[in-house]
Structure formats: structure tokens, C-alpha cells
Amino acid sequence: MRRQPELVRPRTRRRSCAPLLAVFSLLSCGTGPQDPVRADIPPAPPPAAPQIALEPPADPAAVARGQALIDRFECVRCHDLPGREPAPLEKHCVRCHQDILAGRFPAPPGTLREWQGHITHLTDVPALHGLDRFRRAWLAGWLHTPHDLRPGLDSTMPRLALGTAEAADLAAALIPAAEAAAPAAGDLARGRELFGDKSCALCHRFTGAPNIAPAARLPVPLDEAQLQRGLAQAPDLRFTRERMRPAALVAWLLDPPRHKPGTPMPKIPLDEADARALAAYVTEVPLEPPPAPKHVQRLPLLERRVTWAEVEAKVFKRTCWHCHSDPDYARGDGGPGNSGGYGFTPRRLDLASYTGIASGSVGDDGKRRSVFAPLADGTPRIVAHMLARHAEVEGAAPELRGMPLGLTPVPLADIQLVDTWIAQGRPQ
């Protein structure tokens, strides 16, 4: 770690020494330890190279495979991607929700009002522009096992049906460029000061870092819409040290909209030394270890009677049926959980009706299976999926994919209702 502020020289001085150092390094090349060393040479600046080797350009074959995977996983149903047409409105999860909330969606006013009261998820999502600022290896790992990166958003990147190789190919397609050489180290103490002065914590959470309150005045004026988007999209800075390429981080801090037009992150007045200092603080300040994952507890069955009406209202018709419904009875294609989508095979699962849920889903072998069938530990499959979402939020990657996919977990008390309802013979 570069935590030696006393070695950090002012930028101008380091620049003036650089040609001299280059000359001496050339002179000393291959001449052995007896080479003369001038005693008046100042100590070398701290190493500029990052801890991790610079990432080379992505393998073109991996990029090509990744481009195909972008189609397969239907990334454009949520994200804007350069060079790709967005999904049509009826398939675009985020734009559809945004249009409904803004009253632009073509539906009667009464229906719009009803929907507006329901929509909390997938109302904002980052556009996939300027991704070269991220580490490809980090993106591959995150795509494979996503975690909550943006605490202000209700939904997270869903855990798609992809392996590590596919995740690496996707990351190659999204970040094909090589990483630029790392900049000289910044002044961590100055960075800490700037973190407060520039009000970074107004939008960003920085889990595990010392608490630094934002300044009373914002460094730049923000309109309400930009502030709200910033609050929603701002990533937790805890992950920046693994997530961002050091040179790109400095460049980003200097002028975010230049790298990603439309970003809610404003251009904050900083010179390069300040940007390096801020980057140093964000990437090097010691962090408290993350909280230990909590064990997800399946609650005991209830003594009282639970009816279909109750579980339908509290669980299945609250979220589930949006993706799992019968195309004969719902709008559209029945959703990705029924007809397939986002890289998932059609499971033909309908959670919009009693008959539908009792009809089960199509397994990997193409045969129908009961969603109530107990797994090895006795937990009904559908309950296990809902519990798995809690485990995912706690940082685990359980074998069963957590449901609802990428959304807030169903409260444990509501899962308990479903569990009890199943145990009671699924009464109507």
C-alpha cells in the first residue's frame, strides 16, 4: 500500500526529476551493481504501478463471444449500450417503469395511477458507457456473483445463468481496451480533506471508511433531478479499489461527464494533484472489514391457518407474477420466468393463479416438476428460492438462484406464510 505521505513530492518537482531519472535508468541498464550512483539524486517517488498488473487489451475472440452474450442475456432490456438499439418499450424494464412514473406510458389515467403506486423497482439503472474505467477482472467476477453496488437503488444486477468463462467474455466485450499506466500516487491526507470539502458523502456511501460528513456547501450547483439520480446511482466507494483502474479513476474524478455523458456525477473543480489525492483516499484509506454475513433463518411454520388469498396478496401478486405469469391471461409473453428471457430458458412457471402455481415449472430435463417438492433439507423448492435471495444479499452465492431476481428479498415473515400454506396442503 502506498501509505507514505512523506515520500510524496509536489507534482511539479516530480515532473522535473523524471527526465533525469529516465536518463540514469538507461545508463544503469545491465551494468551491474557497481554502477556509479549519484549521491545527490533525490529518493525515487513511490512506485506508480498499481498492486495489480495492468490489464492488456481483451482477446478479440473473447470480445466476439461477449458480444453474442450481450444479445443472449438481453442486456439492452435494462441498460443503454453504445452501438446497440435499446429494447422496445414493452420489453424495456427500466424505461417502461420510468414512462409509467412520468405518466408517459400509453395507458388510461386510472391504470397509470394504479401502476405508479406499485412501482418501486427498476426505476433507474446505469448506462453502460465509458466502461473502460473499470477493471475487466472485477467486472467478470461481479457479473458472475453480483452484489449490491449501489445502495440507493432498490434493485441490483441479477445473478444471470452464466459461468465464469461467460462472465469473462462479457467483461471482455464491455471493456475491450487495455488499461492505461497508473498515475503517480496522490496525497492521502489531502484526499481525506477533499473528500469532506467536495461533499462526496452526500451521494456516496463508503462502507467501512471513517465517517466524513459532507461540507455545508456543495462544490457545484446540482439541480434536484441530478441530485436524485446521483443519490440513486452513486456506488458504494468501498468497492472502488477493486473496481476502477487507477489512471481512469483520476481521469474520471477530473471530468466525469467527459467519460460518461449524462452521468449524474458532476464535474467538480479539482486539479490533477487533487484528483490523485482523492483517488488515493478512496482506494487506500484502511477500511473496516465488512460485516459478517448473517445466517438466513427459515422461520418456523405458523400455527394459524393460511389461505391462498393471503399468500397471493402478500407474495405472489406483489412481485412474482410480473415475471411468472400465463401469457394467455397476462399481457405480453408471460414474462421471462415463463417464456424465457435474460438468458434463462422458458420455465413455464405461472405464479399469477392458484392453478398456475400448482402446475409447477419445467425443469432442466424438460419435464414438469412441482415447485412445492421438498429439497434435501425438506425446504419446498419455491421457499428455498426465496430464502436464497436473502443469502445472496448477505453475500453468498447459493446453488439455487435467489428470487425475486435482483430485487429486494421477500420478507422472511412472508416466506413463512408461503411455507405454512404449503405445509397446510395449499388451501384455497
Partner 1 sequence: MSRLALALSLAVTGAVVSLPNVADACGNTVRRLVDSGQEYVQRAELLLAKAQYRKAVSTIREAFGDKAIAAHMKGPGAHLHGRAQRIVALAVARSGGAVAIGMDLGGAAQSRKDAAIAWAVLALRLQAGDQPTPAQTAELAEALARQTSGRAEAYDLLKGLGDGDLMPTAQGWALLAELSKERGDVEGSKTAVERCVKMRARGVKCELTEQA
Q: Under the rule (CB under 8 A), what is the footprint of partner 1?
A: 90-91, 93, 96-97, 100, 105-108, 111, 114-115, 118, 307, 317, 321-323, 325, 327-336, 338, 348, 350, 354-356, 358-360, 368-370, 372-373, 424-428
123 CB burial (10 A radius; 0-12, 13-18, 19+): middle
Range 115-121, long-range pairs (CB < 8 A, 24+ positions) = 120/154, 121/97, 121/154, 121/155, 121/319, 121/407, 121/408
Choose between 181 and 309: whose C-beta lies nearer to partner 1.
Answer: 309
Supply 387's cell numbers: 430464502
Q: Measured between alpha carbons, how far is residue 394 from residues 28, 193, 294 in Å?
A: 53, 32, 6
Rounded distance between C-alpha atoms, residue 137 and residue 85, angstroms: 27
Cis peptide bond N-terminal to 404, omega within 30: yes
Residue 351, C-beta contacts closer than 8 angstroms, at least 6 positions apart? 316, 320, 321, 324, 325, 337, 357
Choose between 151 and 340: whose C-beta lies nearer to partner 1.
Answer: 340
Rounded distance between C-alpha atoms, residue 290 and residue 25, angstroms: 43
Spatial contact of 188 and 154, defined as CB atoms under 8 Å apart: no
Q: At what angle do helices 188-197 and 272-284 cross, to 10 degrees?
A: 100
Choose between 259 and 426: whose C-beta lies nearer to partner 1.
Answer: 426
Choose between 350 and 392: whose C-beta lies nearer to partner 1.
Answer: 350
Least CB distance to partner 1 at residue 398 (A): 23
Q: Are strands 361-362 and 368-369 parallel, antiparallel or unpaired?
A: antiparallel
Least CB distance to partner 1 at residue 81 (A): 18
Choose between 286 and 425: whose C-beta lies nearer to partner 1.
Answer: 425
Choose between 5 and 327: whose C-beta lies nearer to partner 1.
Answer: 327
Least CB distance to partner 1 at residue 316 (A): 11
Least CB distance to partner 1 at residue 388 (A): 21
Choose between 6 and 85: whose C-beta lies nearer to partner 1.
Answer: 85
Rounded distance between C-alpha atoms, residue 414 and residue 428, angstroms: 17
Rounded distance between C-alpha atoms, residue 275 and residue 295, angstroms: 40
Q: At what angle do helices 164-174 and 60-72 cross, to 10 degrees?
A: 100
Choose between 162 and 330: whose C-beta lies nearer to partner 1.
Answer: 330
Least CB distance to partner 1 at residue 107 (A): 5
Choose between 13 and 118: whose C-beta lies nearer to partner 1.
Answer: 118
Least CB distance to partner 1 at residue 327 (A): 7
Least CB distance to partner 1 at residue 119 (A): 9
Q: What is the DSSP letter of 134?
A: B
Least CB distance to partner 1 at residue 85 (A): 16
DSSP, collapsed to helix, strand or coil, labels residue 244 as strand
Choose between 95 and 190: whose C-beta lies nearer to partner 1.
Answer: 95
Range 192-195, long-range pairs (CB < 8 A, 24+ positions) = 192/281, 192/285, 194/270, 194/274, 194/277, 194/278, 194/281, 195/278, 195/281, 195/282
Least CB distance to partner 1 at residue 338 (A): 8
Choose between 14 and 426: whose C-beta lies nearer to partner 1.
Answer: 426
Least CB distance to partner 1 at residue 348 (A): 7
Q: Measured between alpha carbons, how far is residue 223 from residues 188, 226, 257 in Å?
A: 30, 5, 15
Least CB distance to partner 1 at residue 310 (A): 13
In residues, how long is the chain? 428
